[in-house]
Amino acid sequence: MPEFKYPVYRPNLTGNEKRYVNECLDSSWISSKGAFVARFEKEFAAYVGAASATSCSNGTVSLHLALLALGIGEGDEIIVPTFTYVASVNAIRYVGATPVFVDSNLSDWQLDVELVKRALTPRTKAVMAVHLYGQACPMLELAELCKKHGLYLVEDCAEALGTRIGKSHVGIVGDIGSFSFFGNKTITTGEGGMLVSNRPELIARCAHLKSQAVSPERTYWHDAVGFNYRMTNICAAIGTAQLERINSIVAKKRALAFKYRDELAALSQVIFHDEQPGTTHSFWMVSIRVADETTRDALRQHLAKNGIETRPGFPPSHFFPMHSAFAAGQVFERGELLGATTMNLPSYPDLSSLDVEEICSHIRNFFGVH
């Protein structure tokens, strides 16, 4: 694989990560017991303003645990945007529920609340709101709708650490919020996930299920089909160190995004994934949209030739063979357009202003604008 001068992502591990991992090694607490697990959970809950949090092994199983904790299963319909990362939909399938796809807005790339209303049936049990690429979904509207119809609201915040609506962090408006700490996410533990909620009984249920559903009263007694979805102390040590620098990481990513937007301001061919009024976009990925798929792919190729890695927008989930039957032949025009015409630019916190200027000069060259 060619080395890119500018990869799409590269985590910054220059804080206490090494020191805390060495503490795990020196003390031999390397598995899923150890002081960093509880510390990371507590500090993460405090950062997002949640009453309760529990860690797990990645952001996909955290969605699985969230749906299990809510008692969602066969026969239940869960409304989910088709324009999302596939894990959101996979988790719905893990519990045997039915994904009901809805289209997204071209303005914010998030699920369209009007279409959520139209997708409701007597079997609808929950809405999965995915805060895609760091922009918040319209949560106040969704929360009101879910309350009115007695639905659960699950937030997939894997791409939205640092994302806010007003002053509140995403993940605690709905019943339960799920985060990912994969290597390219805003903070990383290598692989890892976290569930947050202001309903501590839901988090307790997730914690029970992630640890083989072991009885609190009786040793080696299990009272449900549980899982081993625990986070290790080593991962939590890395997460604790990452979280110490979350404010500076998010501030750097926002500054980068605005620098990109300024550099590309003269290009009418490029539509920036912009911050919506009343929200704080954490810019997990700096994302743009162009006219069509041919232009997007040619731009990506032009940038690759110049040492700049980019990533295409997610293909809509109803395109995948294992999920397509749930779309029942429907066309999701905007999700399909977004999947074909969007791309992510290098978005890691250590990019400098000069780096962004260099990347943007190649984008301007591609469009013949100087």
Q: Does 103 bind ligand PLP (CB under 6 A)?
A: no
Query: What is the maximal distance between C-alpha atoms in the chain?
Result: 71
Of 116-155, binders to ligand PLP (CB under 6 A) are 130
Looking up tokens 């209303």 gives: 117
Q: Give the residue with the Cβ less far from ligand PLP, 286 or 356.
A: 286
Nearer to ligand PLP, 59 or 316 (CB): 59
59 vs 171 by CB, closer to ligand PLP: 59
Q: Other CB atoms closer than 10 Å to residue 183's CB: what's the count?
A: 12
Q: Identify which range of 21-29, 58-66, 112-120, 264-272 contacts ligand PLP by CB under 6 A.
A: 58-66
284/135 Cα distance (integer angstroms): 8
Q: Which residue spans within the chain are E strands per DSSP?
A: 52-56, 77-81, 98-102, 124-130, 152-156, 164-165, 168-169, 176-180, 193-197, 271-272, 279-280, 286-289, 311-312, 342-345
CA gap 106, 57 in Å, rounded: 33
52, 54, 82, 88: which one contacts ligand PLP (CB under 6 A)?
A: 88
Work out how close the CB of 59 gets to ligand PLP at its nearest, in angstroms, rounded to a whole number. Answer: 3
- Residue 161 C-beta: closest distance to ligand PLP, Å: 11
Question: In this chain, which of 58, 110, 197, 198 binds ligand PLP, going by CB under 6 A?
Answer: 58
Q: 6, 44, 83, 182: which one contacts ligand PLP (CB under 6 A)?
A: 182
Q: Which residues of 289-298 are buried (b: 16+ CB within 10 A; e: fewer)?
A: bbeeeeebee
Binds ligand PLP by CB under 6 A, chosen from 99, 177, 193, 316: 193
Cβ proximity to ligand PLP, 137 vs 151, nearer residue = 137
Judged by DSSP in three states, 126 sits in strand
DSSP 245-263: THHHHHHHHHHHHHHHHHH
What residue is closest to ligand PLP based on CB?
Answer: 59
Closest separation in Å from C-beta 87 to ligand PLP: 4
The single residue among 54, 60, 280, 317 that binds ligand PLP, judged by CB under 6 A, is: 60
Please state the closest distance from residue 189 (CB atom) to ligand PLP, in A: 9
The Cα 134–Cα 185 span in angstroms is: 10
Which residues from 235-294 bind ligand PLP, rule CB under 6 A?
A: none
Given 156, 263, 275, 336, the residue binding ligand PLP (CB under 6 A): 156
Contact criterion met (CB below 8 Å) for 236 and 20: no
Q: Which stretch binds ligand PLP (CB under 6 A): 80-88, 117-125, 223-231, 269-277?
A: 80-88
Q: Does 159 engage in binding with ligand PLP (CB under 6 A)?
A: yes
Whether the CB-CB separation of 114 and 95 falls below 8 Å is answered with no
| Residue 347 binds ligand PLP, judged by CB under 6 A | no
Asked if 49 contacts 251 with a C-beta cutoff of 8 angstroms, the reply is: no
Given 20, 44, 85, 366, the residue binding ligand PLP (CB under 6 A): 85
Cα–Cα distance, 252 to 267 (Å, whole number) = 24
Where does this chain bind ligand PLP (CB under 6 A)?
Answer: 58-60, 84-85, 87-88, 130, 156, 158-159, 180, 182, 193
